[in-house]
Amino acid sequence: MHEHHSALGLAAAHSGTVSGAAAIAKLRPAQPVTLLRPHAARRAARFFVEKFPGKPMYAVKANPSPDLLQVLWEGGVTHFDVASIAEVRLVARTLPEATLCFMHPVKAEEAIAEAYFTHGVRTFSLDTVEELEKIVRATHGARDLTLCVRLRVSSDHSKLSLASKFGVEAAEAAPVLMAARQAADALGICFHVGSQAMTPAAYTQAMERVRAAIVEAGVTVDVVDVGGGFPSVYPGMEPPPLEAYFAAIHEAFESLPVSYSAELWCEPGRALCAEYASLLVRVEKRRGEELYINDGAYGALFDAAHVGWRFPTDLIRDGGSDAKDMAFSFYGPTCDDMDRMAGPFMLPADIAAGDYIEIGMLGAYGCAMRTGFNGFTAGEAVIVEDEPMASLYRGTMEQPVSSNVITL
DSSP characters for 6-35?
Answer: GGGT--S---S-BS-HHHHHTT--SS-EEE
CATH of the domain at 286: 2.40.37.10
Structural domain contains residue 399: no
Q: What span, in angstroms and rounded, lies between the C-alpha atoms of 180 and 190? A: 13
| Same domain, residue pair 128 and 140 | yes
Which of the listed residues 224, 239, 273 is the one where a domain comes to its end?
Answer: 273
Structural domain contains residue 145: yes
Which of the listed residues 252, 273, 294 is the one where a domain comes to its end?
Answer: 273
| Same domain, residue pair 175 and 121 | yes
Q: Specify the pLDDT at position 10.
A: 44
CA–CA distance from 252 to each of 117, 172, 279 (Å)? 36, 22, 39
148 included as an active-site residue: no
> Would the CA dihedral through 39, 42, 46, 52 be positive or negative?
positive
CA–CA distance from 391 to each of 130, 195, 258 (Å)? 42, 17, 35
| Same domain, residue pair 64 and 43 | yes
Based on its alpha-carbon atoms, the radius of gyration of the chain, rounded to whole angstroms, reads 22
Q: Which residues pair with 330 in a beta bridge?
A: 291, 341
> Would the CA dihedral through 155, 156, 160, 161 be positive or negative?
positive
Q: Specify the pLDDT at position 288.
A: 97
| Same domain, residue pair 260 and 341 | no
Q: Return the closest-CA partner of residue 369 out of 276, 288, 306.
A: 306
Contact in structure between 278 and 82 (CB atoms under 8 Å): no
| Same domain, residue pair 249 and 233 | yes
Q: Return the closest-CA partner of residue 301 out of 266, 356, 338.
A: 338
| Same domain, residue pair 226 and 282 | no
Mean pLDDT of 206-213: 95
| Same domain, residue pair 210 and 355 | no
CA–CA distance from 23 to each of 191, 246, 392 (Å)? 43, 38, 25
Residues 292-324: tens digit of each pLDDT: 999 999 999 999 998 888 999 999 999 899 999
Which of the listed residues 273, 290, 322 is the one where a domain comes to its end?
Answer: 273
Mean pLDDT of 170-178: 94
How crowded is the C-beta side of 245, counted as CA atoms within 13 Å?
29
Contact in structure between 56 and 25 (CB atoms under 8 Å): no
The residue annotated as part of the active site, out of 266, 273, 335, 367, is 335
| Same domain, residue pair 22 and 66 | no
Mean pLDDT of 272-280: 96
pLDDT bin (cut points 50, 70, 90) of residue 19 is confident
Q: What is the pTM of this model?
A: 0.90
Q: What span, in angstroms and rounded, lies between the C-alpha atoms of 225 and 47? A: 18
How many separate domains does the chain show? 2
Q: Specify the pLDDT at position 4.
A: 36
Q: Specify the pLDDT at position 398.
A: 52
Domain that holds residue 214: 39-273
